[in-house]
Amino acid sequence: MSIQNNYVAIMAGGIGSRFWPISRTQHPKQFLDILGTGKTLLQWTYSRFKDICPPENIYFITNHSYVSLIKTQLPGLSDAQIISEPSRKNTAACAAYFAHKIHALNPEANIIMSPADHLILDERAFERSMFEGLDFVKNNNSLLTLGIKPTRPDTGYGYIQFDQKKHIDEVFKVKTFTEKPNLEIARAFLKSGDFLWNAGIFLWNVNTIINAFQKYLPELNDVFAELKDAYNTPHEYAEIEKAYPQCINTSIDYAVMEKADNVFVAPAQFGWSDLGTWESAYENSEKDYLGNAVHGKNVIVIDAAECMVKAPENKLVLVQGLEKFIVIDTPDVLLICERSKEQHIKEYVAEIKRNKGEKFL
57: left (phi over 0), alpha (psi -120 to 50) or beta: alpha
For residue 254, the one-letter residue type is Y
Give residue 326's pLDDT.
Answer: 97
Give residue 55's pLDDT.
Answer: 94
> pLDDT tens-digit profile of 63-79?
999 999 999 999 999 99
Give mean pLDDT, residues 204-231. 97
> pLDDT tens-digit profile of 265-322?
999 989 888 888 898 899 889 999 999 999 999 999 999 999 999 999 899 999 999 9
Q: Domain spanning 6-273 has what CATH number?
A: 3.90.550.10
Domain with CATH 3.90.550.10 in the chain: 6-273
Query: Can the peptide bond before residue 21 be classed as cis, meaning omega within 30 degrees of 0?
Result: yes
Query: How crowded is residue 124: how many other Cβ atoms within 10 Å of its Cβ?
Result: 8
Q: CA-CA distance, 98 to 85, in Å (whole number)? A: 11
pTM: 0.91
Q: CA-CA distance, 126 to 103, in Å (whole number)? A: 26
Count CA atoms within 13 Å of residue 290 on its CB side.
18
> pLDDT tens-digit profile of 221-253?
999 999 999 999 999 999 999 999 999 999 999
Give residue 1's pLDDT.
Answer: 59
Residue of 294, 326, 292 lying closest to 313 (CA atoms): 294
* 83 and 105 Cβ atoms separated by less than 8 Å: no
Provide the pairing of β-strand 143-148 with 110-115: unpaired
Q: CA-CA distance, 158 to 198, in Å (whole number)? A: 5
Count CA atoms within 13 Å of residue 24 on its CB side.
12
Q: CA-CA distance, 147 to 157, in Å (whole number)? A: 11
pLDDT of 46 strictly over 70 = yes
Distances (CA, A) of 318 to 6, 297, 336, 351: 50, 12, 13, 27
Residue of 98, 126, 31, 15 lying closest to 358 (CA atoms): 15
Q: Where are the beta strands (DSSP E) in 69-117?
A: 82-85, 110-115
